[in-house]
């Protein structure tokens, strides 16, 4: 029998290789989820502690001490800086956790990969899937708070879209980082540093409109605007905060970056991960 559309068959999980890949992704995702929560409710609640603490601390510093104001929500009721912040943070956490996690997930299976063949990328994709699952819980809390404030609308469907785009973008970078980190172990520390700078390059703890046009000779506003994550965050804000359909330009930019980086990262990973199995 000849396979006429291998791509389509793979997409529909009809080819054996695609099914094997899907099973492995599931196994790795389950392992990661179980490691995080040990299968109990308290574990899941515990996982909310960190993001909620972050929201509380930044709200205190920027919202209360610096008196930063957030634009009003769609229904004009709330002007809660914490919620403006939280909506950006949900997506940032997806991105940050996956980029950092990729190196860890790779390390978790690299010994195994020296002894048995399996598509190594499934470990990273599984980890990312587990991260998305955890982040949906954060997203749910955000949406519930918004519901209490009567600030919800059909535009919420774009929240999972934004999270998925952030995940794809992060995985693309994570694929590359994992390969390089397998040889040069300080990449994980450098990545942490770059990410903590990156956090402030995206309008999460501030609104895009307060960014000065130029500072110290640098076109700061332009830099923030060009940051690929900026459009993902913008899509998120529209979806949950302003309750507007996303700006098509933002959505297109986010989607283009996410798929481009994901495809390039995966190609690089596939080409180089074979050599990892030969490392002594």
Ligand X SMILES: Nc1ncnc2c1ncn2[C@@H]1O[C@H](COP(=O)(O)OP(=O)(O)OP(=O)(O)O)[C@@H](O)[C@H]1O
What six digits make up the tokens of 212?
Answer: 């000065």
108 in contact with other proteins (CB under 8 A) = yes
Which residues have a Cβ under 8 Å from the Cβ of 96 and sit 6 or more positions away?
170, 195, 199
Q: Which DSSP symbol is given to 218?
A: B
Nearer to ligand X, 217 or 280 (CB): 280
SS3 of residue 206 by DSSP: coil
Q: Which DSSP symbol is given to 75?
A: T
Nearer to other proteins, 247 or 270 (CB): 270
Stretch that binds other proteins, among 17-25, 85-93, 134-142, 224-232 (CB under 8 A): 17-25
Pattern of binders to other proteins over 170-189, x per CB under 8 A? -------------xxxxx--
Stretch that binds other proteins, among 26-34, 61-69, 136-144, 162-170 (CB under 8 A): 26-34
186 in contact with ligand X (CB under 6 A) = no
10 touches 107 (CB < 8 A)? no
Q: Which does 27 bind (CB under 5 to 8 A by kind): other proteins, ligand X, none?
A: other proteins
Closest distance of CB 189 from other proteins, Å: 9
Q: Position of tokens 């690929």?
A: 228
35 touches 47 (CB < 8 A)? no
278 in contact with other proteins (CB under 8 A) = yes
Closest distance of CB 184 from ligand X, Å: 19
111 in contact with ligand X (CB under 6 A) = no
Closest distance of CB 269 from ligand X, Å: 20
**Class of residue 133 by CB neighbours under 10 A (exposed 0-12, middle 13-18, buried 19+):** middle
Taking the CB of residue 34, how many other CB atoms lie within 10 A of it? 12
User: Count of alpha carbons within 13 Å of 76, Cβ hemisphere only?
Assistant: 0
∠ CA 144-240-62, nearest 5°, is 90
Of 251-280, which residues contact ligand X (CB under 6 A)?
278, 280
Candidates 76, 111, 197, 248; binder of other proteins (CB under 8 A) is 111
16 in contact with ligand X (CB under 6 A) = no
CA–CA dist 201, 98 (Å, integer)? 18
Nearer to ligand X, 4 or 115 (CB): 115
Q: Which DSSP symbol is given to 38?
A: T
Residues that bind ligand X (CB under 6 A): 278, 280
Residues that bind other proteins (CB under 8 A): 16, 19-20, 23-24, 26-27, 31, 108-109, 111-118, 183-187, 190, 274, 277-278, 280
């Amino acid at each position: 029998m000849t396979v006429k559309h291998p791509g389509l068959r793979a997409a529909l999980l009809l080819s054996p290789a695609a099914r094997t890949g899907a099973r492995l992704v599931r196994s790795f995702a389950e392992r990661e989820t179980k490691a995080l929560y040990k299968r109990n409710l308290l574990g899941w609640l515990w996982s909310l502690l960190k993001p909620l603490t972050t929201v509380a601390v930044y709200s205190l510093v920027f919202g209360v001490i610096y008196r930063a104001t957030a634009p009003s929500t769609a229904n004009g009721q709330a002007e809660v800086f914490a919620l403006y912040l939280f909506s950006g943070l949900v997506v940032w956490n997806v991105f940050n956790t996956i980029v950092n996690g990729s190196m860890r997930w790779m390390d978790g299976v690299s010994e195994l990969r020296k002894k048995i063949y399996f598509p190594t990328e499934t470990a990273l994709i599984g980890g990312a899937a587990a991260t998305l699952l955890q982040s949906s819980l954060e997203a749910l809390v955000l949406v519930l708070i918004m519901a209490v404030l009567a600030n919800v609308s059909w535009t919420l469907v774009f929240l999972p879209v934004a999270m998925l785009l952030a995940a794809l973008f992060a995985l693309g970078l994570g694929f590359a980082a994992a390969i390089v980190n397998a040889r040069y172990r300080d990449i994980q520390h450098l990545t942490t540093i770059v990410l903590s700078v990156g956090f402030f390059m995206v309008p999460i703890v501030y609104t895009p409109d307060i960014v000065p046009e130029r500072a110290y000779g640098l076109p700061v506003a332009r830099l923030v605007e060009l940051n690929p994550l900026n459009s993902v965050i913008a899509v998120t804000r529209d979806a949950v905060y302003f309750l507007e359909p996303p700006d098509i330009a933002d959505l297109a930019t986010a989607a283009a970056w996410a798929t481009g980086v994901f495809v390039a990262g995966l190609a690089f990973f596939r080409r180089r991960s074979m050599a990892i199995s030969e490392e002594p």
